[in-house]
Amino acid sequence: MAQLSVFGYRWRSTALHAMDARIKLAALMALSTASLAAGITGMLLASVLVAAAFHQTGTPLVRALGELRYFLILLIAIWMLRSASTPGDPLLTWQGMVISRQGVFEGAMLCWRWLLIVFLGMTVCATTRSSGIRAAVEWFLRPLPGVQAHRVGTMIGLLLRFIPVILTQARETADAQRARAVENRKNPIYRMRSMGLPMLRRTFLMADRLAIAMEARCFGDQRTPHAWHFQPMDRIALVIVIVLCVIMIFA
């Protein structure tokens, strides 16, 4: 079974859920980029906004942090490395290692940016139907020459649809092999092969059936376009994001 995660969409009645997916995706891209250039003021402003947005998802902060635990460990490791490897005024010296004030600051900023981007992404995922995300990606790709936007959109949709199916099948295959004592085999290559081949076979078979079923349902180059509902709220949100990005980059 597909596990519910904090990244998954959950319906609630908030302004953020109702917002046009294109605005949310654009905000994610713009704020992520702007955060690379932002100083403390800009980051503080952006963090307030992201915190408010995250609050609307209704996800308890503790749960989100719990789900991100490995990522947080990685961030702490990056921070420590950064602190120890950046030259500057020594804060602490221990066995030849120098922790510099600049290093601590820069590391903290780096981790802050990552955290901001991740929470923003999490908020967008939790408040936007995957069909909306897909349609927004399609919409942004449409002006690009040589990109078949609706095919990319369909691929994203199929990916989202079939990830849980493939994961479930992988678990079934693994269980079936454990039932036949595959654990007694120590050779990892043997185990990878005995796991990988049936999985590949099933996946290809499924892809084949899927392609036939899509053909039977008249899949082609022309489709009914996604219905966008661009509302005054969306315009306001867009302006807020643009202003914020300008402040982040130039302040």
Partner 1 sequence: MTWIEDSRPIIAAERLSHRFAPAGRGLHDITLTIPRGQFVVLAGPNGSGKSTLLRHFNGLLLPQVGTVRVDGISVAKDVARARRTVGMVFQDAESQIVGETVRDDVAFGPENLCWSRGMVDAAVQATMDRLGLSHLADQSPHLLSGGERRRLAIAGVLAMRPDVLVLDEPFANLDYPGIREVLQQVVALHQEGHTIILAAHDLEKVVGHAQRLIIMDKGRIAADGPVANVLPLVERFDIRMPCQARLGLPVTSWLN
Give the interface with partner 1 as residue ranges (CB under 8 A): 1-2, 11, 129-131, 157-158, 160-161, 164-165, 168, 205-206, 209-210, 212-220, 222-225, 227
CA 112 to chain centroid: 17
Quote the CA–CA distance of 124 and 122 in Å, as a whole number. Answer: 5
Nearer to partner 1, 77 or 163 (CB): 163
Nearer to partner 1, 113 or 226 (CB): 226
Q: How far is the CB of 56 from partner 1 (least distance, A)?
A: 18
Nearer to partner 1, 80 or 158 (CB): 158
Residues 6+ apart with CB under 8 A from 172: none
Among the listed residues 159, 164, 142, 163, the one whose alpha carbon sits nearest the alpha carbon of residue 226: 142
Nearer to partner 1, 158 or 170 (CB): 158
Is there a contact between 98 and 84 (Cβ–Cβ < 8 Å)? yes
Nearer to partner 1, 58 or 225 (CB): 225
Tokens at residue 153, please? Answer: 């959109």
Nearer to partner 1, 117 or 133 (CB): 133
Q: How far is the CB of 32 from partner 1 (least distance, A)?
A: 24
Beta-strand (E) ranges in the chain?
90-94, 97-100
Is there a contact between 195 and 173 (Cβ–Cβ < 8 Å)? yes
Tokens at residue 102, please? Answer: 């600049």
Beta bridge partners of 98: 93
Contacts from 91-96 at CB under 8 Å and sequence distance 24+? none
